[in-house]
Structure 1
Amino acid sequence: MSTTPPGGPGNTPEHSGEYSPEYLDSSGPATTAPANDNKKRLIALGAIVAGGAIVAGGAWAATSFFATGSQPAEALPGSTIAYASVDLDPSGGQKIEAIKTLRKFPGFTDKVNLDTDDDLRERMFEEITKSGECEGLDYADDVKPWLGSRAAIAAVDLGEDEPTAVGVVQVTDSGKADEGMAKLVETCGGSTGAEDGSGDDAAGGTGGWVVDGDWMVIAETEDVAQKVVDATDDGTLAADSAFGQWTGEAGDDGFMSFYVAKGAAKYLEDAAGMGSMLGVPSPLGAAPGSTGFDENCITEATTPEEMEKCFDESADDSTGGTGSEELPAEVQQMINDFDGAAATVRFNDGAVEVEYAMSNYQSDFTKFLSSEEGVDMVSDLPEDTIAAFGFSLSKGWAQGMLDYVKTIVPDEAATIDDQLAQFESETGLAFPEDVETLLGEGVTVSVGSGIDPDAIANGGPGEIPVGIKIKGDADEIQAVLDKISALAGPEAEQYLQVTEGDGYAVLALQDSYRDTLESDSGLGSSDLYSKVIDDDAQTVLFVNFDADDDWLVRLSKDEPEISENLAPLSAFGVSGWVDDDVVHGMLKLTTN
């Protein structure tokens, strides 16, 4: 059975900013609400059961996990182009990991104070309805008997001009789910059917849902929800090979999962054309001001209808009524090359992880970052390093980057060349030769132990333990730095002197830190580094919160509340690497 409450015309994706629980507010006795209010209430209620973990508080969602078993992808068609799921199951290993991790932070314990046996769905429901709305609605009687633990929000391509936004909620009892959803709407200020009792969309629907087996699909109208359900007859998202490929590339399951399909690229293409139509400088290369858009029209518009007419007239005047704009071939190729992306958020061994994978649709850029030289350099930094960033660069990278930028903004290519020529004339620096020499084959920027705010305040930059190591010829690098020194003046010259240390050129503000960097050390073999940096990394960012006598806690000691919530942090790492046609990334934050 499906139910569609009545009301005004259906919402569209561009009005999604109205979909907020704030529409549940009321200030008087329950009365029949206007159609639009009913619609907003239903969308808000849909947010409670479908997107509540995202809308109402990551704190609740952050204690859940993506368990094995049925998933919302089974209730969505293969034409789904974007998907975000969450699991609110109150049991499982990841929940235990999450609770153990989050309870280390006093702020979480004070504000949330979740225990392992708490029903996260109930806590979320209480948080959303604590303002006093939905009086008379009881979670144990009206929601718990039918609400499952898994939910998702998604965008589905149903062949329309824009994707269709839907929510999917797991249900444990289909009959009670239909009744329970109807009571949610009625109790919270909406109505459960047309005034004539027919429940027909034609009578004026405010939104709708369809219960199909173990899932409830919530959409703009019941008719749209039914279309989504019917579309699964041609194949589900869960059975789609691309979905399986990209979610697999994103690693082990977690408590949240995200997916973007290749089909989403066509909407990016449409957006790029729309940006050009409006005369907006497009990052995808559309020429600004090429459409004859009348800025006075939108300035003088006093109603939404008049503003919309401005856009319609602009499209007719500039593009023959199609609103389209041809993209540069290189940009079109990048869109065509995008095959998909996915990400997973999980708890693991006292750490929270975000792992992602996406198609390497920018291979002309990423090919210059495929060496592990920069990561090897980070591994050779002192073990007590506070923070470090390392990357590698293949020969020809500077010219390659310039060519890449020109493909993004082809109409500015000639201007870029003119500006570079002027830059070379004024500075004496040669591009790309000097830039490639300066950064060599790999670079690390690091901060060492010994941060003393008082010493820095009194002694200046020379007291800061910051340094740079470059894989390259020290003499050639110094020659480039000499050109920069001549431009920067004598005050900068003392900081632009390199020394050579075991094949690297070394720059440092502090003499003692320079000495440390000139020889190899063992950061890469430390336990903390190994916990947060992936073995396959080609680009690395590493932060050690435990180093230098808990430097972050020490520096924040004058703010006790902040300091005690920073104390549990141990290390943070970001790893990036390219594996053939896939770009991988991993973010890890560990606690003590």
Structure 2
Amino acid sequence: MTEDHPGPTEGPSDAPDPSAAGTPGPETTQAVPTEHTVPVPQYSYPAGADATSAHAPAAAGVALADEATQPTTGGRRRTGLLVGALATVLVLGGAGIVATTALSGGGAQPAEVLPGDAYAYVRLDIDPSAGQKIAAVRFLGKLPQVKDTLGSDDPRKKLWELATKDSSNACAAKFSYDSDIAPWLGDRAGAAFRPGGTSDKPNVAIAVQVKDEDAARDTLTKLLACDTDGTGAELRMKDGYALITPKGTGDATVAAVDRGSLADNATFADDMGALGEQGVMSAWFDATNGIKEISKLGGSGMDSTLATAGAKGRFAAALRFDADYVELSGVFRGADGTKAVKGDGAQLVNLPDNTVAAMHVAGGDQLVDTAWPQVKKQLDSLGSAQGQNDLVGQLEDQLDVKLPDDLKLLLGRSFTLALPEQDFQSGTFSIGGKVVTSDAKRADELLGRLGALAGGGTDPLTHSVDGDTVYAATTQAYADALKAGGKLGDSDAFKLAVGDVSSSTTAVFVDLDKIEKLYLGEMKGDQKSFVESLRSVGINQSSTGDGEGTFSLRLVGN
């Protein structure tokens, strides 16, 4: 039920009294404080996390005793006015706070009180599922400086103190976290972007979960009144959440929720269902409806670029934990004009064992078929703007190629680049690649010709053809190593970072342990310990159907 009357709870004793100063009540425009900058804090990690069981599945066979600590006072509290700052803290190291909360993970989500016509949504949840909390404890236990500095104190209180300590807004600095914020602050926050916004006035609604609506209304009303820039914001209460909206949009936002929340939006619900576990953060974007709206937010300079991009489809993403890594995982759906591409990472997993970094693209020839009409259209438009009627034809003449056919041959059924472990300080540098294609001899000829063109008449690569595969490298030794192959895919660093690549269309792998020697010498203390605790990074993308696919970005700990 929507409530519009201020409650009796008193604000901070030394904070300005809105009523005394003639400040409007909660149903009139209030100003949102924006002056202060929030630094990323360091915290103390709960003692006793069991890092020895880090390779066990995060959500199975884990007793509650594996939780690092019992909930502490204020362990679920956070300041809703600092939603963006909290998101930054979670992403950059503060996500260990999930280890200090209870294992419920239940309750209403922000999407249930935000309007169903939104085209973009972001959610922060420090009370996620039990499996996520346990996995977070185990993963963060691998990061020494996080383990040693993430304490049992409420990190949201520290965030509040850091945000207000050096604030130029003396009004906001007078609020006490313990007495003014903690009593009402809940566990979740979300923001929804709706149609109709402008660069001067975005149509955004922020939902902050509260445990006491009266106390939240009283404090937030006074906080909003601290702002003096005149932009203003409005406050409403809705089903256990405080809704903060731009001036003049509060009633319309609540009415839109009453007509149907974002959680009731079938498209949104279906996309988030396909995403699965939503972790500590999640986001959703409808490009079909959102691109033009975003162009309005960027001002006239962005209007023509974004509005004519023609992007369609939607994506959903989540930041979540496994015992061995933190992952940004997502799905994209409904992309217009894109066909399913059969992926295969076999050429990636059989790279030499000493591979430091690798990039793999499968189905590049199919991607060219799909993308070429749009690419040619853009090239023709570029040529016309420069007074050239046939830019594609000129490129074909200058490079002695046939487009898009030769481009398809160069990308082939799979295209793989690799960098071996080496002394990067020496005068020689080894890098190489291989292409599996339908006409390897033609691809080899093209590669040699383009290499000579780039090298000023001398091809810098040594390359050869073996069946349907072209091997090329900066040294003969590495070209031979690529041809001999190896078992990169058997290493734990690779498997944890990239995962299953049997259907990958794009994959990237970097072995941080093998390259850290390049920069560790310049680091000291906690910074060095943190870098040493990181093992590898991986990206994996697959096509699951026409206009649909999945992606993941993982950071693996030692």
Superposed displacement of residue 261, structure 1: 3.3
Pair 1:420 & 2:392 matched:
yes
8 Å contact 2:143–2:557 — kept in the other structure?
A: no
| Partner Cα separation in structure 2 for residue 272 and residue 393 of structure 1 | 36
| Partner Cα separation in structure 2 for residue 76 and residue 272 of structure 1 | 20
Amino acid in the other structure paired with 1:590: V
Pair 1:539 & 2:467 matched:
no
| Partner Cα separation in structure 2 for residue 558 and residue 270 of structure 1 | 43
Partner of 1:361: 335
Partner of 1:63: 96
8 Å contact 1:553–1:563 — kept in the other structure?
A: no
Partner of 1:553: 517
| Partner Cα separation in structure 2 for residue 61 and residue 225 of structure 1 | 32
Gaps of 5+ in 2: 7-17, 39-77, 99-103
8 Å contact 1:545–1:571 — kept in the other structure?
A: yes
Superposed displacement of residue 521, structure 1: 2.3
- Aligned partner of residue 406 in structure 2, secondary structure: helix
The correspondence for 2:236, drawn from 210, 216, 235, is 210
- Aligned partner of residue 453 in structure 1, secondary structure: coil
- Aligned partner of residue 264 in structure 2, secondary structure: coil
The correspondence for 1:390, drawn from 344, 355, 360, is 360
1:292-341 deviation per Cα after TM superposition (whole angstroms, max 9, x unaligned): xxxxxxxxxxxxxxxxxxxxxxxxxxxxxxxxxxx6xxx6xx45xx3422
Partner of 2:444: 478
Partner of 2:177: 139
The correspondence for 1:114, drawn from 150, 153, 162, is 150
Equivalent residue runs for 1:208-247 within 5 Å: 208-221=234-247, 224-247=249-272
1:372-402 deviation per Cα after TM superposition (whole angstroms, max 9, x unaligned): 24x2210121233111111123546546544
Amino acid in the other structure paired with 1:75: V
- Aligned partner of residue 386 in structure 1, secondary structure: strand
8 Å contact 1:64–1:87 — kept in the other structure?
A: no
- Aligned partner of residue 458 in structure 2, secondary structure: helix
8 Å contact 2:318–2:329 — kept in the other structure?
A: yes
8 Å contact 1:208–1:219 — kept in the other structure?
A: yes
Partner of 2:551: 585
- Aligned partner of residue 468 in structure 1, secondary structure: strand
1:112-147 deviation per Cα after TM superposition (whole angstroms, max 9, x unaligned): x223x3323222212212226445432222211111
| Partner Cα separation in structure 2 for residue 552 and residue 588 of structure 1 | 18
| Partner Cα separation in structure 1 for residue 294 and residue 90 of structure 2 | 33
| Partner Cα separation in structure 1 for residue 408 and residue 555 of structure 2 | 33
Partner of 1:291: none
Equivalent residue runs for 1:32-181 within 5 Å: 48-54=81-87, 58-59=91-92, 62-64=95-97, 67-89=105-127, 92-102=130-140, 104-105=142-143, 108=146, 113-115=149-151, 117-131=152-166, 133=170, 134-157=172-195, 164-181=203-220
Pair 1:352 & 2:317 matched:
no
| Partner Cα separation in structure 2 for residue 419 and residue 90 of structure 1 | 53
Higher RCO, 1 vs 2 (CA within 8 Å, ≥6 residues apart): 2
| Partner Cα separation in structure 2 for residue 270 and residue 205 of structure 1 | 21
Superposed displacement of residue 433, structure 1: 3.5
Superposed displacement of residue 214, structure 1: 0.8
Amino acid in the other structure paired with 2:423: D
| Partner Cα separation in structure 2 for residue 244 and residue 154 of structure 1 | 15
Superposed displacement of residue 591, structure 1: 0.5
Deviates more, 1:147-156 or 1:434-443: 434-443
Superposed displacement of residue 252, structure 1: 1.2
The correspondence for 1:371, drawn from 335, 338, 342, is 342
- Do the aligned partners of residues 174 and 504 (structure 1) sit closer, same or farther apart at CA in structure 2, a change above 3 Å counting? same
Partner of 1:492: 458
Partner of 1:572: 537
- Aligned partner of residue 252 in structure 1, secondary structure: coil
8 Å contact 2:342–2:543 — kept in the other structure?
A: no
Amino acid in the other structure paired with 2:36: P
8 Å contact 2:195–2:293 — kept in the other structure?
A: no
8 Å contact 1:382–1:516 — kept in the other structure?
A: yes
Superposed displacement of residue 544, structure 1: 1.6
- Do the aligned partners of residues 265 and 56 (structure 1) sit closer, same or farther apart at CA in structure 2, a change above 3 Å counting? same
Which structure features the higher share of helix residues? 1
Partner of 2:417: 445
8 Å contact 2:313–2:333 — kept in the other structure?
A: yes
- Do the aligned partners of residues 552 and 559 (structure 1) sit closer, same or farther apart at CA in structure 2, a change above 3 Å counting? same
1:52-78 deviation per Cα after TM superposition (whole angstroms, max 9, x unaligned): 413677446533559332111111121
8 Å contact 2:464–2:470 — kept in the other structure?
A: yes
- Do the aligned partners of residues 244 and 400 (structure 1) sit closer, same or farther apart at CA in structure 2, a change above 3 Å counting? closer
Partner of 2:42: none
- Do the aligned partners of residues 58 and 503 (structure 1) sit closer, same or farther apart at CA in structure 2, a change above 3 Å counting? closer
Partner of 2:63: none
8 Å contact 1:429–1:483 — kept in the other structure?
A: no
| Partner Cα separation in structure 1 for residue 95 and residue 298 of structure 2 | 38
| Partner Cα separation in structure 1 for residue 93 and residue 451 of structure 2 | 54
Partner of 2:401: 429
8 Å contact 2:536–2:556 — kept in the other structure?
A: yes
Partner of 1:28: none
Amino acid in the other structure paired with 1:215: Y
Superposed displacement of residue 478, structure 1: 2.8
8 Å contact 1:242–1:340 — kept in the other structure?
A: no
| Structure of greater Rg | 1
8 Å contact 1:86–1:256 — kept in the other structure?
A: yes
Superposed displacement of residue 149, structure 1: 1.1
| Partner Cα separation in structure 2 for residue 144 and residue 283 of structure 1 | 45
| Partner Cα separation in structure 2 for residue 175 and residue 485 of structure 1 | 70
Superposed displacement of residue 251, structure 1: 2.8
Equivalent residue runs for 1:505-516 within 5 Å: 505-516=470-481
| Partner Cα separation in structure 2 for residue 361 and residue 353 of structure 1 | 23
Amino acid in the other structure paired with 1:386: V
Pair 1:405 & 2:375 matched:
yes
8 Å contact 1:99–1:114 — kept in the other structure?
A: no
Q: TM-score, normalised by structure 1?
A: 0.71
Task: State the superposition RMSD in angstroms.
Answer: 3.9
| Partner Cα separation in structure 1 for residue 475 and residue 319 of structure 2 | 40
Percent identity of paired positions between Structure 1 and Structure 2:
25
- Do the aligned partners of residues 476 and 100 (structure 1) sit closer, same or farther apart at CA in structure 2, a change above 3 Å counting? same
- Do the aligned partners of residues 385 and 262 (structure 1) sit closer, same or farther apart at CA in structure 2, a change above 3 Å counting? closer
